[in-house]
Amino acid sequence: MAVGHPLRRTPLWTVLRGLNLIESDLLDSMKNQVEQSLHNLIQEQLEMGSGEVAELCSEILLAGGKRFRPLLILLAYGTCGGRDFDEIMPLACAFELIHTATLVHDDIYDGADQRRGVATIHKKAGLAKGVIAGDWLFTMGFGLGGRYSEEIVEIMSKCCADIAVAEFQQFDHINDLATTPDDYFQIVEGKTAGPFAAGCKAAALIAGCDAQQAEKMYEFGLQLGIAFQLVDDLLDLYGDDRLGKPRGVDVYEGKMTLPIIHALTLLHGEKRDQLSEILSDFGDEKFTQLIDLLTHSKSIQYAKILASTYLERSEFALNDFEQSEYKELMLGIAELVNSRNS
Amino acid sequence: MAVGHPLRRTPLWTVLRGLNLIESDLLDSMKNQVEQSLHNLIQEQLEMGSGEVAELCSEILLAGGKRFRPLLILLAYGTCGGRDFDEIMPLACAFELIHTATLVHDDIYDGADQRRGVATIHKKAGLAKGVIAGDWLFTMGFGLGGRYSEEIVEIMSKCCADIAVAEFQQFDHINDLATTPDDYFQIVEGKTAGPFAAGCKAAALIAGCDAQQAEKMYEFGLQLGIAFQLVDDLLDLYGDDRLGKPRGVDVYEGKMTLPIIHALTLLHGEKRDQLSEILSDFGDEKFTQLIDLLTHSKSIQYAKILASTYLERSEFALNDFEQSEYKELMLGIAELVNSRNS
C-alpha cells in the first residue's frame, strides 16, 4: 500500500485545524475575543515591568495556536446558559496559558527547536530562561484561576497534577512494546482528555449548572479529548503539511500510539517480529512497511472506529442540554469529526 | 588577612539555621505541624495514584529544609491574632511547595547534583522528570492557595511572577561587573524578600487584619528577607560546614553579591583591576586575596551594617501589633540576628 493521506479532506482531521472549517460568525468572534484577551494580559504584564520573560512567552503564546481549549470552554459556558462572557474569559485564558506552559516545558526535554512556527524559548534564550518562562506561564494561569471559587481552582490543580503524572507514565512507556491499551488510555486521559474535561466542567459550574450537568460537560470533554488524541495518532502516520505536522514524529520518539499498540497486540509470528524490528530502529524508508503492517492488522481502521465511538459518546453527553447556537457548535465539532466520508 | 569564619558563633548566621537556636516549645510544635502537614499532603497524593512524581518530590520536600517561609507565615498569622492554625496551614504549605518547586527547577539549570543532602530529581531521574516534578510542586502549591480568597491567590501569583522576572534579571547580571546596588536590590526583592513579604501579608489578611496592618506585615517580611539575603551573601564568602554551605558558590557562578558590588564601586586603580581579574577567573587559591580586597574596601563591614539596618526596619514594622508569644518570636528572630556580638 502506498503511503497516501487517507485523512486529508475527511472531517476527521478538521478537529485539528482549530475549527477553522466550521463557518460561524459566533466562533470567529469568540476566537478574536480569546486572542484579544491573551494579548491584553501580556500587555498588562509588560506595563507592570515583567520585561523579557513576558516578551519571550508572548512570542509563543500569541503565535497562533488552535485555541481549541479556550474555545471549548466558551462554548461549554454558553451551552450551559452562561451569557456574560467576561465572567468565563479568565478561565478560558487560564487553560490556554497552562497549556502553553506545558508546551514550553515539553519542548525543552523533547529538544524541539520550533513551536507554532517560531523558535522555542529555550532554543532562543537558553535552558534556564526556558524553564522559568514556563513557570511564569503556569503562574499567570493559576493567577487567573484564583478569580473563581475553591472548587474551580481544585479542578485546575487536579488537572495539572494529572498531566504531570501522565507525562511520567508516558516517559516510562517510551519504546515499551509491552504497553497495553489500558496504559495508553490512562496517559491520554491524564494528558489530553483530562484538561478538555476539566475545562468544560469548570465552565459549566461557573455558568451556574448543578453537579450532574457539570459532570455531563466533563464527560463531553473527556470523550472528545480521547477522540482528539486518536485522530492525532492517525495523523502522525500520515503527517499533514497544512497542519504543519510532520509525519512519524511519535514513531521516531518511540511514543506508543494506539494503532501501534493495537498492531503489537494482534500481530503474531513473523509479522510481529517485523513490526518490532521496524519500531526499534525506525527510519523514513520503513514507513511503507509500517503502514502495510498496521493495515494488515486492521489497526488504522480500528483507531478510526474507536475515534468515532468516542465522538458519539461526546455527542451523547450533551443530550440533556437545551438547544442553542453554542450547543450546535459543540455538536457540530463532534458531528463533523464523526461523519467520516472516506 | 586569613580566611576564617567571623560569622560563626555570631547571631548573624543563626537566621539561616532555621531558627534552631531559638529555644521555644511553640516554635518546635509549629515546625512539627508543618512537617506533618507536608507529609500528609504527599501521602494523600500517593494514595490518589500520583506515583513516581509524588515520590521524587517527597524525597526533596521532606528531606528537611529550614521551613523558614512556613514558620514565618504561621508566626505572622499568630501575631495578627489568628488562632485557628488549621486555617493558615495550607498557605504555609503552599509557600513551602512553591519554594521547593523553584529549587527543583533552579537545580536543573544550575546543574546541581544535590539538594538538602539528597540527589536532585533531574540527576536521579533525568531532565524531563525534573522539569515535570517542579511543575507538579507548583501545581500542588497553587491548589492549596485556591482555598483562600481571590486576593490571596493574586498575592501568591504576583509573588511567583516576580520571582521569574527577578531570576531573568539575575541571569543577565551573571559576571556583569557593572551591576549596580539598584540591580541587586531589585533582584533580591523579587526573588528572596518578595516571597517572605507576600507570605506574611497573606497570613495577616487570612487572620482578619485590615489593609494597613497587612502592609506592615508585608514590610516586615520584605526587610527581613533582604537582611536574610545579605547574610547569605556574607556566608558565601566564608562557607559553613554546619549549614552544609560550601564557600564561594556565588563567586564561582559569577553571581553579583552585595559585598562584591560594593567593592567594585569603591575600589579604584590597581585594586579595582585586581578584583576584576580575580572575579573573571576565580579559583580557590584566590580566596584570601578576594577577602583582603573586600576588607580593604570595607565591603564586608558595609554588608553587615546594611543587614542590621534592614533587620531594625523589620522590627520597626511590628511596632503596632499587640504583644504575644508569636510577636515575641518574630522579634526574637530579628533581634537575635541584629545583636551582632562579634
Q: What is the mean pLDDT of chain B?
A: 90
> Which one is the CATH code of A11-338: 1.10.260.40, 2.60.120.40, 1.10.600.10, 1.10.3720.10?
1.10.600.10
For the stretch A156-185, pLDDT in tens is: 999 999 999 999 999 999 999 999 999 999
Residues 6+ apart with CB under 8 A from A86: none
Question: Is the model's pLDDT at B23 over the cut of 90?
Answer: no
Q: What is the mean pLDDT of chain A?
A: 90
| Other beta carbons within 10 Å of A250 | 17
Question: Is the model's pLDDT at B60 over the cut of 90?
Answer: yes
Interface of A with B (CB under 8 A): 45, 49-53, 101-102, 105, 108-109, 126-129, 131-136, 138-140, 142-143, 145-147, 150, 152-154, 156-158, 160-161, 164-165, 167-169, 171-172
For the stretch A239-248, pLDDT in tens is: 766 556 678 8
Residue A5 or residue B241, greater confidence: B241
Residue A173 or residue B25, greater confidence: A173
Minimal Cβ distance to B127: which of A52, A109, A150: A109
Question: Is the model's pLDDT at A2 over the cut of 60?
Answer: no
Which of A44, A135, A169, A171 is best to mutate for the B interface (most B CBs within 10 A)? A135
Residue A341 or residue B203, greater confidence: B203
In this prediction, residue B97 carries a pLDDT of: 98
Question: Is the model's pLDDT at A8 over the cut of 50?
Answer: no
For the stretch B147-184, pLDDT in tens is: 999 999 999 999 999 999 999 999 999 999 999 999 99
Question: Is the model's pLDDT at A9 over the cut of 50?
Answer: no
* Beta pairing, strands B114-115 & B118-119: antiparallel
Mean pLDDT (whole number) for A110-133: 95
Question: Is the model's pLDDT at A275 over the cut of 90?
Answer: yes
In this prediction, residue B242 carries a pLDDT of: 58
Percent of chain A as helix, strand, coil, to the nearest 5: 75, 0, 25
Query: Distance of CA A79 to CAs A15, A31, A75, A207, A334, Å?
Result: 19, 17, 6, 9, 15
Report H helices in chain B.
25-47, 51-61, 68-79, 85-110, 121-125, 127-145, 150-172, 181-188, 194-206, 211-238, 249-253, 258-266, 269-280, 287-296, 299-317, 325-338
Mean pLDDT (whole number) for A79-84: 97
User: ipTM score of the complex?
Assistant: 0.91
Q: How far apart are CA B255 and CA B162, in angstroms?
A: 19
Domain edges within chain A: 11-338
What stretch of H or E contains B115?
A: strand B114-115
In this prediction, residue B336 carries a pLDDT of: 56
Which three-class secondary structure state does DSSP give residue A5? coil
Which of A57, A87, A132, A158 is best to mutate for the B interface (most B CBs within 10 A)? A132
pLDDT band at A46 (very low <50, low <70, confident <90, very high): very high
CB-count burial class (<10 Å; 0-12, 13-18, 19+) for B275? buried
Question: Is the model's pLDDT at B16 over the cut of 50?
Answer: no
In this prediction, residue B339 carries a pLDDT of: 43
In this prediction, residue A175 carries a pLDDT of: 95
Question: Is the model's pLDDT at A297 over the cut of 80?
Answer: yes
Gap from B36 CA to chain A (nearest CA, Å): 21
Minimal Cβ distance to B131: which of A50, A108, A158: A108
In this prediction, residue A231 carries a pLDDT of: 86
Mean pLDDT (whole number) for A39-53: 96
Residue with cell 539575603: B229
B221 neighbors B287 (Cβ within 8 angstroms): no
A-B CB pairs within 8 A amount to: 142
For the stretch B171-230, pLDDT in tens is: 999 999 999 999 999 999 999 999 999 999 999 999 999 999 999 999 999 999 999 899
Minimal Cβ distance to A157: which of B105, B146, B165: B146
pLDDT band at A302 (very low <50, low <70, confident <90, very high): very high
Mean pLDDT (whole number) for B68-95: 96
Nearest CA in chain A to B148: A150
In chain A the beta strands, taken as DSSP E runs, fall at 114-115, 118-119
Query: Hey, are the CB atoms on B168 and A132 less than 8 Å from each other?
Result: yes
Residue B228 or residue B133, greater confidence: B133
CB-count burial class (<10 Å; 0-12, 13-18, 19+) for A83? exposed
In this prediction, residue A246 carries a pLDDT of: 75
pLDDT band at A17 (very low <50, low <70, confident <90, very high): very low
In this prediction, residue B11 carries a pLDDT of: 45
Minimal Cβ distance to B142: which of A49, A105, A157: A157
Query: Hey, are the CB atoms on B127 and A105 less than 8 Å from each other?
Result: no
HEC per residue, B23-73: CCHHHHHHHHHHHHHHHHHHHHHHHCCCHHHHHHHHHHHCCCCCCHHHHHH
